[in-house]
Amino acid sequence: MLKRIQFILFVVIFSAASMRAYADLSKDAMDALINENYKTAVPLLKRLAQQGNPSANYNLALLYKEGRGVIANARKSNAYFSNAAHRGLVDGYRKLSASSITPVSARNTVAARHLDPQEWVKAQNPGFYTLQLASSTNAKLIKKYFDENSLTGKAGYYKNKREGEYWYALVFGAYPSVAEANVAIATLPKDLKKWSPWVRKLKSIHRIMTP
């Protein structure tokens, strides 16, 4: 039996016209999972996953991994874990890195591991949002925090100048919406939440970055 704590709650913000329908769909999907009604849960989750919901991708990955409601399929499981990871879910990264299979959909995630931290920030979609974890005038402190938490490929840091002084900021993940970024905060490990992460638009970060 899949533990209830494995399932990630859906928190989505939409326009007034679509919010009710989407919220109902999310509730139905979660209720179906909790009640192990996979015949209902799977198509609902797939619809959510196609719309870019990271939690739906993660939960589908679990179902395909354990063969619940679907035929167990390691390739599909890792593909969904990759999609969740690409949208910033830490558990998605963990599950994916624990597997020896690297699906086609994981290529962007794998490629990101070869970028240095500042290039990683530049490479993110400017229309997306990220989580700022920490900032300091001490570059060594930010680099140490980055290295100690093994954030290569998942995060980056950038430099900007404020009032004549250089600051270094560490950011994590890239999310299509503010809502998904806020959901991701709850999934962060304790060490990444200790400085109260907050959501920032990547476009605004790109504007202020300095070499």
Q: What is the CATH number of the domain that holds 83?
A: 1.25.40.10
Q: Are 124 and 173 in contact (CB under 8 A)?
A: no
Q: Output the pLDDT for position 43.
A: 92
Task: Return the closest-CA partner of residue 172 out of 125, 116, 134.
Answer: 134
Structure confidence at residue 95 (pLDDT): 52
What is residue 94's predicted lDDT score, i.e. its pLDDT?
52
Same structural domain, 164 and 187: yes
Are 10 and 103 found together in one domain?
A: yes
Q: Write out the H or E segment, with its range, that includes residue 160.
A: strand 155-162
Domain end position, chosen among 43, 76, 109: 109
pLDDT of 85 reads 67
Residue 17 CA to residue 105 CA, distance in Å, equals 32
Residues 103 and 170 in one domain: no
Its pTM stands at 0.51
Q: Which residues of the chain have pLDDT under 70?
A: 1-25, 85-115
Strand partners, 169: 135, 158
